[in-house]
Structure 1
Amino acid sequence: IKALKGRSAFLFLQTHPEIRQKQYWGGHLWSSSYYLGSLGNMSKDVVERYVNDQKYNAYKK
C-alpha cells in the first residue's frame, strides 16, 4: 500500500506541482492510514459508507 500511495503521489505531484507549492494537506497527498478488505465479504453499502466516512473525516481536521 505504501508503495502504491508513494508512487501515485510522486506521479501526481510531477504533473501538478502547484499542489506541493500550496502545501495542501501539510505537504502530503495521502494520509498514512489505509483500509484493506475483500469486496466478496462486504456489501456495496459497507464500502460506500467507508468511502463517505473518509471524505467526512477529512473535512473535520
Structure 2
Amino acid sequence: MGQSSYLHQSHNVSNLVYHFVCPAKYRRIVVSEGVDECIRQTCAGIELRYEWIEFLEIGTDKDHIHFLIQSTPEHSPGEIIRVVKSITAKRVFAEHPEVKKQLWGGEFWSDGYFVSSVGKNTNEEVIQNYVKQQGTQDSYQQLYIKI
C-alpha cells in the first residue's frame, strides 16, 4: 500500500483513485481484528489476481470498511467494488463462521456503498490518512478540518 502513480498503458495514461466506504450488512459490529486481517490478506490476493486493482489503503471501523483503490479507465467503480465485496465476503464467511451467524442473511456487505474520486496532489493524502485512522474517535472530524 502506498501512494498512487500514473498508470501508463498502450493507449492511455491515467491516475484514477477511488475512496469506497462499504458498510457491513445491517451496520452490524462484525469487524474484529481477525476479520480486519482476513480482509487485508484477501485484498492482497485480489491485487495479484486482478492487475487493474491496487489497494492504496484499507481502514476498518467496527461496522464499515474504507478502501482507497487505484484502477484503470476500462473498469468502472461499480465493477471494482463488486469484485472486492464478493471475494472478501466469501473469505470472511469461510474463515469466520461466527460472523455468518451474526448476519443470518448470508451476506457480509450491505447492498450499497459510498464512492468518491480522489484528486492527485489535492485530497488524496488527507483521505489516505483518514482511511488509515479508522476506528479512532477523531477520524471523522479530522477529515473535515483538513479539507
TM-score range, shorter chain: 0.5 to 0.7
Amino acid at match of 1:6: S
Amino acid at match of 1:9: A
With a CA cutoff of 8 Å and minimum separation of 6, indicate the structure with the bigger relative contact order: 2
What SS does structure 2 have at the residue aligned with 1:28? coil
CA apart distance, 1:33: 1.0
Partner in structure 2 of residue 34 of structure 1: 114
Amino acid at match of 1:42: N
TM-score (structure 2 length as normaliser): 0.27
CA apart distance, 1:43: 4.0
For the aligned residues, what is the CA RMSD? 2.9
Given the superposition, is the C-alpha separation of residues 39 and 12 from structure 1 closer, same or farther in structure 2, using an over 3 Å criterion?
Answer: farther
Partner in structure 2 of residue 57 of structure 1: none
Size of the aligned set, in residue pairs, is 50
TM-score (structure 1 length as normaliser): 0.54
Higher helix share goes to which structure?
Answer: 1
Amino acid at match of 2:114: Y
Inter-partner Cα distance in structure 1 for 2:100 and 2:117 = 31
Which has more radius of gyration?
2
Higher strand share goes to which structure?
Answer: 2
Partner in structure 1 of residue 35 of structure 2: none
Partner in structure 1 of residue 125 of structure 2: 44
